[in-house]
Each structure stands twice: as structure tokens, then as C-alpha cells.
Amino acid sequence: MPYMKPLRNLSFVLTSVLFMNASAFAGCGEIEAQCLIISSESTAPASCSITVCANAIEYISNWSVRDGSTLSHTSSEEKDTITINGKPGLKIPYDILKENLTCYGTTDMSQVFCAKDVSL
């Protein structure tokens, strides 16, 4: 039975995959992008670094803008949290934006941060 050992190894691997937690199937990506920052005084482009991590149950996006601004979006079945510079923020719906644009704003809309679609 020379084929039994490879079959036993294959069944072990398949069984291990079945028992893995969904969060084990994850991916992260980081991009350097040109963000658009819109405030009541101006609209200006700014260099930013965007990190996105996602798995079967959670999505995390962190933006670091060259001017020191930060944005964080965490979404899972239990919660959906957006912060801009440590304060509550909101995601601006796609249907009011230009195509292929991801935007977040402060709750009073005094600042809006946009970048081309941000995904893995």
C-alpha cells in the first residue's frame, strides 16, 4: 500500500483546514495614495497611506494622511466604527459620490476624506 501515506497526509491537511477559524483566512494590503481632503475652507490633495485588512468576519481600514490626520474604519457583524482624528465619523454613501471613490466624513461634515476605491 504505497499510496496510503500520501492519502493520510492529505486527509490530515483537509481536516485541519475544516477546523480553522474563519479569521485565519485573512489578507492585508497597504497602498500609498493621493487622498482628497475637503473642508469648509478648501479642497486639496494630500499624500496618504492606506492599510486594509479583511477576513471572513471583519474589515479594517486605516488611513494616515501626510498632514497628520488619521481615519479608521472597522466593520464586523457586531459593530461598524469609523473615527477621524479620534472622533466619530461616517462613511459617505456611494450613490452621492463620483464612481470609484471611497469617502468618509466627520459627523458635522466639516472634513471629508476621499480616495479611489479602497479594497484588497
Per residue in 71-111, pLDDT (tens digit) is: 999 999 999 999 999 999 999 987 776 678 889 999 999 99
pLDDT at 118: 67
Q: Which of 74, 60, 65, 73 is nearest to 37 (CA)?
A: 65
Give the pLDDT confidence of 11-40 residue by residue, as tens digits.
443 344 334 444 455 789 999 999 999 988
Question: The whole model's pTM is what?
Answer: 0.72
pLDDT at 34: 93
Instruction: Quote the CA–CA distance of 10 and 40 in Å, as a whole number.
Output: 61
pLDDT at 25: 54
Contacts of 55 (CB under 8 A, 6+ apart): 22, 23, 24, 25, 26, 27
pLDDT at 41: 85
Phi, psi of 102 (to 5 degrees): -110, 125
- Dihedral angle sign, alpha carbons of residues 71, 74, 79, 80: positive
